[in-house]
Amino acid sequence: MKYYNFSAGPSMLPEEAKLSAQKDFLDYKGSGMSVVEMSHRCKWYEEINDEAEALVRELMNIGDDYYVLFVQGGASTQFEAVPLNLLVKGRADYIVTGNFANKAYKEAIKYGDIVCAASSKDKNYTYIPDLNEVKFREDIDYVHITGNNTIFGTRYTEFPKVDNLVADLSSCIMSEVIDVNKFELIYAGAQKNIGPAGMTLVIVKKDAINNPMPICPTMLKYSTQAEAKSLYNTPPTFSIYMAMLTFRWLKKLGGVSAIQEINERKAEKLYDFIDNSTLYTNSVAKKDRSLMNVPFVTPTKELDAKFVKEASENGLLTLKGHRLVGGMRASIYNAMPEEGVDALIAFMKKFEQENK
């Protein structure tokens, strides 16, 4: 049976990247070692580190005025690292559009004068607040947003027009073209759209990292990682290596603009099908729908459970929704082929027929 994994994270990786890692797993390029066994200071690993960084820069069109860093601790550690590094005046505004956005906000509160400038909690995070209505304070260090809300299935289609924008792009990084120059800092845990868990990507303006708070731990200072080219201590080497293979795959496919086209087609098909069905619903505001995470429900919890079980028996894995939303969630990240979405829709049709 052909399997498709709709997991929200860790999630599917491109077959090509996995096969390449498999082929080289025991003996990487004649080194006599596996990547998971070699020193992070040896020439083979340095090449991997350099190529991974170069590919991120190429794929996202990142200029020399930004650092590209590979750090540890997941996006959740960035919830703290961001205020610890960027609060200079001590003030920042957050837009709270979901569970992770709220976690980021809650961490930041510990370190300064932090305000929630807008939230979509009133409708269980099913939309993105109208940015024209949001009033940010004067004289703040940054505005923090969550670009794609993994649990609730919403995304920003445009970004706040502010000077120092910080974005958690964990679940949409490299899924559509963005202008990095509009951001002061972008961070993303690898395990949604880039590679295995372990590595966290940070893209930060070079002139933004010079004033960390005195209490900022050495490991969380961007300057520490920037000076050491992400090799200050032992990095998650295998995760960075797999990410590099994924970046190679994406480049070969035509880059971010090419995958964006595919992602838009995949998401449109699935939303169209849901909107036209009598069994399934997605309650996200249409203009704010995520390209990556598609939550949906049937009329009853019992039918939802039956759907998840039967889908899994048909090779469509990990479709159970997040406990905060219930129902189902199809995560259709970059590595999910269009055939995977077609297979899901075909199964949904059949299930609808059988359960009218």
Ligand X SMILES: *Cc1c(COP(=O)(O)O)cnc(C)c1O
Contact residues for ligand X, defined by CB under 6 A: 9, 74-76, 100, 146, 150, 168, 170-171, 189, 192
Distances (CA, A) of 343 to 9, 13, 170, 177, 292: 20, 18, 26, 27, 17
Distance in Å, CB of 346 to ligand X, minimum: 28
Q: Is 188 helix (H, G, I), strand (E, B) or coil?
A: strand
Distance in Å, CB of 9 to ligand X, minimum: 5
Cα–Cα dist 165/150, whole Å: 20
Closer to ligand X by Cβ: residue 192 or 248:
192
Torsion of CA 272, 274, 279, 284, to 10 degrees: -130
Nearest-CB residue to ligand X?
Answer: 74
Instruction: Yes or no: say if 190 and 167 are a contact pair by the CB < 8 Å rule.
Output: no
Q: DSSP 3-state helix, strand, coil percentages of the chain (rounded to 5)?
A: 45, 15, 40
Closer to ligand X by Cβ: residue 170 or 239:
170
Closer to ligand X by Cβ: residue 183 or 347:
183
Distance in Å, CB of 155 to ligand X, minimum: 10
Distance in Å, CB of 178 to ligand X, minimum: 15
Distance in Å, CB of 90 to ligand X, minimum: 24
**258 contact partners, CB below 8 Å, separation of at least 6:** none
Closer to ligand X by Cβ: residue 7 or 85:
7
* Tokens at 236, concatenated: 């998650």
Closer to ligand X by Cβ: residue 325 or 345:
325
